[in-house]
């Protein structure tokens, strides 16, 4: 998420910039401004370690610690030696964390504003950092000094992830380093980690000791964390026992788990010793240790173990690269092994590919391209072409080809929607032309390396002239335009997301046929993501309790609702349904549906009520961008309609009938055709007006009653923070939806009686024609003129302000034709089987003069 930065300053252009979301349309408005990055927000929240330190040795030392312990990432310098390192927060909405201020001992007694202060900041929600701009003090551009190429080369979900524990550790490490370096803490200055001050950080253990609630673990959950904890230390051994005793209510299985964990220790005694100690632990009191302690220690131990393992593997492969003596072995054996070590870690892949390129040049005296290294790391054979410079023309066509040689595997273009996509290591995310222009610029900057391969002096001089010409803006833009038609990146619109049973998520895709996780794969052409990691083991006990409570503890309704929501994410709306959760306010439906919406990320879309409601009809030639933006979605949430809105019955039938939809973008020249993959959910306190009485519309409406009223029911305590609490279970909610999809495929919807009764009641409420017949007409062996029937209906409907249901005599005749036979007599249409109640006001309507 980017924001514009004022010229000559470090602050954003706009007020309330913390909540701004720029779109591709907005970007050109700020073409002359700097670029800032919002921190702490979104599905992949960026955070940054801002080393605001003027002592070069201390800044370098702490930056090295960050690289070793938090991970290698992109690094930016504005005014050296100050440096900023970019990471991804484990979860969104972290506040800023800072160390205390430090200064030289000769400075600390000065007034605070005069002190040359130094500290680190961990930037979180509500903050930003400058990515591309001119520094207001140095008058030089901010510079990305990492070997990855800066933040523009990173997808947010590829950045190294850091935890709150690591943030706290980083603050403490810096403060220790600063003191060891001879700096003094500025008077009254304290560190802050989230909402904790440095004095409170030391009380972390006491804080954990005061948490008495259980976590809700299974024994397998506990066993997973125990595997990372050292069993040799006596105090740790006791604390593990106490935490298991408390979490599992002193169960025999938990005792056995404690004993099994300790059995491999060198100082292990016996099961009887564990059994005796088990009996001395308490479930309550001031000195209990809970599973919260075990979770914290387990996570820390796990992270340390993983770090050590990664360091060893990384050191081994680096040694193999630097010690390799043959180019063929380097490309066919070592590069393949390096690719396996890097896996999907983009930062590590870039680091190792750089080492491979460097070693290849040392051995062969010839450069190798990034693309060729990527091929070798993928385990494929590389054909080195040393005369590429002579083969590629010195034109925009040649440069476009060069760009796709280097980056063609990372981008694709869809002509029907004029949209570029970039592979972010998990799925293909839409991107603006500016992103591809960055690839073009990198290609142009790399032309100098290509020139070095040309032996002929005259040809090389000519090529350098071409290098200079290629840096003109129109040349770069032409490269992007020409690349759009290249078959290497051109993908037909209908091939995107073609496997509807794959639901993209933050760690791959879920196969909705099996519930299995599928690894990220470019060939799947997935362009959406839930933004939530999927694990079939994830739980959401509070969310499930919320759903059950909203249905008054009716398990049948709760189970049906899970199947119904699971059906909605399948991408195959074969039940032809529009789901209408209804009920008066404060009934829980918004809380539940909003949580589901957030769990689905890109697959959930909102649309205004006007898309499906209102008397107007859409123009056949209209753009219908409102429909185009729904392509690929699964869960379409209609904004709450106003009272007395009419349902566009024809559109509902069309969009739920399984037929293809034709739509186009607002400024697009051509239309695209696609099949709806979504189910429409329209929560409402006011049911829409339905004029049609035919089965075709009513069978499509799934009425889900939410009849709770948390405000009116004084026996209930309304949890005003429930929505925030449910976000902590968002991975479990995604797993709940997948489980519902699997259940639907096995059992079908199995609609309960309550929803059927709700639909029947709704249909009866909408049957205004039936009310008129019952109140104003008689059925039997009668006939009546259409004129008399219309006058009676008109008076009845106008008295109720509902003439819009059937506004003309012709529309009334069409409705009556479906119920009664008609014929013509003396030029007047008459219906058999019905008549208006005998009334003087109709006595003369059939006379010839009338």
Give SS3 for 579: strand
pLDDT tens digits along 491-535: 998 899 999 999 999 999 999 999 999 999 888 999 999 999 999
Give SS3 for 509: strand
**102, 118 in Cβ contact below 8 A?**
yes
**291, 246 in Cβ contact below 8 A?**
yes
Residue 830 belongs to what H/E stretch? strand 828-836
**128, 38 in Cβ contact below 8 A?**
yes
Helix, strand counts (H, E) of the chain: 31, 30
For residue 679, what are the β-bridge partners?
A: 635
Q: What radius of gyration do the chain's Cα atoms show? A: 34
**423, 407 in Cβ contact below 8 A?**
no
Residue 666 phi/psi, 5-degree rounding, is -60, -40
**129, 10 in Cβ contact below 8 A?**
no
* Token duo for residue 364: 């062969």
Nearest Cα neighbor of 455 from 393, 395, 402, 389 is 389
* Token duo for residue 404: 């796709």
Those residues of the chain that have pLDDT short of 70 are: 15-16, 18-26, 147-148, 194-213, 283-287, 303, 307, 344-347, 366, 371, 381-391, 615-625, 657-658, 663-671, 693, 838-850
Spans of all domains in the chain: 2-202, 206-304, 541-741+749-763, 767-842
Q: Which DSSP letter does residue 642 get?
A: P
Strands 184-185 and 102-103: antiparallel
**789, 835 in Cβ contact below 8 A?**
no
Where does residue 370 fall: left (phi above 0), alpha (psi -120 to 50 degrees), or beta otherwise?
Answer: alpha
Report the pLDDT value the prediction gives residue 835, as an integer from 0 to 100.
93
* Token duo for residue 556: 């049948």
Report the pLDDT value the prediction gives residue 414, as an integer from 0 to 100.
93
Report the pLDDT value the prediction gives residue 850, as an integer from 0 to 100.
38
User: b or e along 647-676 (b: 16 or more beta carbons within 10 Å of the residue's beta carbon)?
Assistant: bbbebbbebbeeeebebbbeeeeeebebeb
Nearest Cα neighbor of 608 from 569, 651, 585, 637 is 637
User: 145: which residues sit within 8 A by CB, 6+ positions away?
Assistant: 75, 76, 77, 83
| Angle of helix 555-568 versus helix 730-747 axis, rounded to 10 | 90
CATH number of 767-842: 1.10.10.10
Residue written as token pair 């969310």: 543
User: 620: which residues sit within 8 A by CB, 6+ positions away?
Assistant: none
Residue written as token pair 């099949």: 675
Neighbours of 780 (CB within 10 A): 8
**795, 845 in Cβ contact below 8 A?**
no
Report the pLDDT value the prediction gives residue 838, as an integer from 0 to 100.
65
Report the pLDDT value the prediction gives residue 204, as an integer from 0 to 100.
43
CA angle 668, 670, 675 (to 5 degrees): 105
Where does residue 389 fall: left (phi above 0), alpha (psi -120 to 50 degrees), or beta otherwise?
Answer: alpha
Nearest Cα neighbor of 35 from 156, 128, 137 is 128
Give SS3 for 197: strand
**Rounded-to-integer distance, Cα 821 and Cα 306, Å:** 81
Give SS3 for 422: strand
CA angle 221, 227, 233 (to 5 degrees): 120
CA 230 to chain centre: 37
Concatenated DSSP letters of 460-485: HHHHHHHHHHHTSHHHHHHHHHHHTT
Strands 2-5 and 822-825: unpaired
Concatenated DSSP letters of 46-86: EEEEEEE---HHHHHHHHHHHHHHT----EEESSTT-EEEE
SS3 letters for 242-296? HHHHHHCCCCHHHHHHHHHHHCCCCCCCCHHHHHHHHHHCCCCCCCCCCHHHHHH
Task: Please tell us whether the domain made up of 541-741+749-763 is placed in CATH 3.30.420.
Answer: no
| Angle of helix 271-280 versus helix 234-247 axis, rounded to 10 | 60
**564, 749 in Cβ contact below 8 A?**
yes
* Token duo for residue 731: 């991975």
For residue 452, what are the β-bridge partners?
A: none
Report the pLDDT value the prediction gives residue 26, as an integer from 0 to 100.
66
Nearest Cα neighbor of 577 from 688, 663, 704 is 704
Strands 196-197 and 192-193: antiparallel
Report the pLDDT value the prediction gives residue 776, as an integer from 0 to 100.
93
Neighbours of 41 (CB within 10 A): 20
Residue written as token pair 């040049």: 361
Give SS3 for 109: coil
């Amino acid at each position: 998420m980017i924001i514009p930065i004022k010229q000559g300053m470090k602050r954003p252009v706009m007020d309330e910039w913390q909540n701004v979301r720029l779109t591709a349309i907005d970007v050109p408005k700020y073409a002359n401004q700097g670029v800032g990055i919002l921190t702490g927000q979104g599905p992949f929240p960026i955070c940054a370690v801002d080393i605001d330190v003027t002592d070069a040795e201390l800044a370098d030392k702490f930056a090295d610690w960050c690289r070793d312990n938090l991970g290698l990432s992109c690094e930016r310098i504005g005014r050296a030696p100050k440096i900023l390192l970019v990471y991804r927060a484990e979860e969104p909405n972290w506040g800023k964390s800072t160390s205390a201020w430090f200064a030289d001992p000769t400075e600390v007694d000065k007034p605070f504003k005069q002190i040359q202060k130094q500290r680190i900041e961990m930037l979180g929600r509500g903050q930003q950092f400058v990515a591309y701009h001119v520094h207001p003090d140095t008058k030089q551009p901010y510079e990305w000094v990492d070997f990855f190429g800066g933040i523009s080369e990173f997808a947010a979900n590829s950045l190294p992830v850091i935890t709150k524990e690591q943030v706290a550790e980083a603050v403490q490490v810096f403060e220790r380093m600063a003191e060891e370096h001879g700096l003094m803490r500025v008077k009254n200055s304290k560190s802050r980690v989230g909402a904790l001050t440095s004095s409170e950080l030391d009380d972390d253990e006491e804080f954990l000791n005061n948490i008495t609630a259980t976590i809700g673990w299974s024994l397998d959950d506990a066993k997973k964390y125990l595997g990372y904890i050292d069993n040799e230390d006596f105090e740790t051994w006791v604390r593990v026992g106490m935490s298991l005793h408390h979490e599992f209510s002193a169960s025999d299985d938990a005792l056995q788990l404690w004993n099994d964990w300790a059995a491999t220790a060198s100082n292990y005694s016996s099961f009887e010793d564990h059994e005796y100690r088990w009996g001395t632990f308490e479930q309550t009191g001031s000195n209990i240790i809970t599973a919260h302690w075990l979770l914290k220690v387990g996570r820390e131990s796990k992270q340390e173990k993983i770090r050590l393992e990664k360091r060893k593997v990384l050191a081994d492969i680096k040694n193999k690269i630097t010690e390799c003596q043959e180019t063929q072995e380097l490309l066919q054996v070592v590069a393949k092994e390096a690719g396996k070590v890097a896996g999907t870690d983009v930062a590590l892949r870039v680091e190792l590919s750089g080492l491979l390129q460097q070693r290849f040049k040392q051995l062969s005296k010839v450069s190798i391209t990034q693309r060729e290294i990527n091929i070798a790391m993928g385990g494929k054979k590389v054909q080195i072409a040393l005369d590429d410079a002579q083969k590629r023309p010195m034109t925009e066509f040649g440069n476009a080809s060069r760009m796709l040689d280097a980056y063609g595997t990372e981008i694709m273009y869809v002509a029907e929607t004029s949209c570029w996509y970039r592979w972010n290591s998990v799925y293909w995310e839409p991107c603006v032309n500016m992103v591809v222009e960055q690839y073009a610029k990198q290609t142009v900057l790399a032309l100098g390396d290509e020139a070095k391969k040309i032996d002929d002096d005259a040809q090389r001089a000519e090529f350098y002239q071409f290098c200079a010409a290629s840096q003109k803006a129109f040349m770069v833009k032409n490269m992007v335009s020409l690349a759009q038609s290249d078959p290497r990146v051109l993908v037909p619109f209908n091939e995107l997301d073609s496997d509807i049973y794959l639901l993209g998520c933050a760690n791959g895709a879920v196969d909705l046929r099996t519930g299995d996780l599928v690894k990220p794969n470019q060939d799947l052409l997935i362009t959406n993501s839930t933004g939530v990691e999927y694990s079939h083991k994830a739980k959401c006990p509070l969310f499930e309790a919320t759903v059950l409570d909203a249905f008054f503890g009716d398990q049948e309704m709760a189970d049906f609702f899970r199947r119904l929501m699971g059906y909605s994410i399948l991408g195959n709306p074969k039940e032809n349904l529009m789901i209408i959760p209804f009920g008066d306010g404060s009934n829980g439906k918004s809380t539940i549906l909003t949580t589901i919406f957030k769990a689905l990320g890109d697959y959930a879309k909102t649309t205004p009520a006007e898309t499906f409601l209102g008397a107007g009809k859409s123009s056949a030639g209209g753009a219908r961008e409102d429909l185009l933006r729904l392509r690929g979605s699964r869960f379409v949430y209609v904004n709450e309609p106003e009272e007395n809105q009419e349902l566009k019955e024809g559109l509902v039938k069309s969009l739920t009938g399984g037929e293809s939809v034709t739509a186009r973008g607002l400024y697009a020249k051509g239309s695209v055709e696609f099949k709806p993959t979504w189910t429409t959910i329209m929560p409402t306190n006011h049911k829409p007006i339905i004029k049609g009485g035919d089965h075709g519309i009513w069978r499509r409406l799934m009425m889900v009653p939410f009849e709770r009223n948390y405000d009116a029911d004084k026996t209930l305590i309304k949890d005003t923070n429930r929505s925030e609490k449910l976000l902590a279970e968002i991975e479990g909610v995604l797993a709940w939806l997948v489980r519902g999809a699997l259940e639907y495929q096995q059992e079908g919807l199995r609609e309960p009686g309550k929803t059927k009764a709700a639909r029947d009641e709704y249909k009866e409420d909408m049957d205004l024609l039936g009310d008129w017949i019952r109140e104003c007409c008689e059925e039997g062996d009668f006939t009546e003129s259409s004129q008399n029937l219309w006058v009676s209906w008109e008076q009845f409907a106008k008295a109720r302000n509902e003439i819009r249901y059937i506004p003309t005599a012709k529309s009334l005749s069409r409705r009556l034709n479906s119920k009664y036979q008609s014929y013509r007599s003396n030029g007047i249409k008459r219906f058999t089987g019905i008549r208006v109640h005998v009334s003087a006001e109709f006595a003369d309507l059939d006379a010839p003069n009338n």
